[in-house]
Chain A
């Protein structure tokens, strides 16, 4: 079964850091690009970051550039999102998703909640 499991969410103060992880199983992880997508409480979905299968190509949405870092360890089937200088507006459920095709994110993990608050 193809599965993605996120972890690492929690409560952090503004300006703090958090590292999210996404464990992949059931498919050849290195063959697929991956995305992080977030959803603020009661709000819609927002694409956050992309990483190619090899890790050589990386993109971020403008609001997190310079603060977030995405990486992957293909030997461990693991995706990470390092979040620094966190702001209140980064509060959201963060999902990792496999980029099956350019317009098909499938599957998604169950999400991990990040709360930025003092």
Chain B
């Protein structure tokens, strides 16, 4: 399984919106609606922000939203805040109880 493709970095000013893409294949993102997004602050464990492509766990602000089209999933963060600055990883189920992650995207809030 090859890693999903994410941009290495994105940036935005407070209050703006940013979108992080995650491109997989017809064997993972394209065929399963089991895409999730994880936020990781430096030195900390990842935490789920979006699962099942569009669902938000309780406690995650509705500024975070997910979508998918074909083999590409996206995470959009609106109304950027300083605390959103972190690494973001997408993850897709790939069948047979296996998963593949993206390489990660560093979000910088300018």
- Chain A interface residues (CB < 8 Å from chain B): 33, 35, 37, 44-47, 50, 52, 57, 59, 61-62, 95, 101-111
Contact of A47 among B51, B53, B99 (CB under 8 A): B99
Is A110 a contact of B100 with CB atoms below 8 Å?
no
Contact (Cβ within 8 A) A95 B46 = yes
A45-B38, A46-B101, A47-B99 known; A104 vs B51 contact (CB < 8 Å): yes
Q: What string of 1s and 0s marks CB contacts (under 8 Å) between B1-32 and chain A?
A: 10100000000000000000000000000000
Q: A44 touches which one: B1, B92, B103 (CB < 8 A)?
A: B103
**Chain B interface residues (CB < 8 Å from chain A):** 1, 3, 34-36, 38, 40, 45-48, 51-53, 57, 89, 91-93, 96-104
**Distance in angstroms between the alpha carbons of A61 and B98 in the assembled complex:** 7
CA distance A64 to B100 in the complex (A): 15
Indicate if the CB atoms of A44 and B51 lie closer than 8 Å. Answer: no
Q: How far is the CA of A101 from the CA of B25 in the complex (A)?
A: 22
- Contact present for A103 and B96 (CB under 8 Å): no
Chain B residue nearest in CB terms to A106: B48
Q: How far is the CB of B88 from chain A (nearest CB, A)?
A: 11
Given A45-B38, A104-B36, decide whether A50 and B48 contact each other with a Cβ distance below 8 A: no
- Bound complex: CA A57 to CA B3 (Å): 24
Q: Taking the nearest CB of chain A, how far is it from the CB of B23, in angstroms?
A: 14
Could you jot down 28 A-B contacts, CB within 8 Å? A33-B97, A35-B99, A44-B104, A45-B46, A45-B104, A46-B101, A47-B91, A47-B100, A59-B98, A61-B1, A61-B98, A95-B45, A101-B51, A101-B52, A103-B34, A103-B36, A103-B51, A103-B52, A103-B53, A103-B93, A104-B48, A104-B51, A105-B36, A105-B46, A106-B47, A106-B57, A108-B46, A108-B47
3 closest A-B pairs by beta carbon, nearest first, are A103-B34, A104-B51, A108-B45
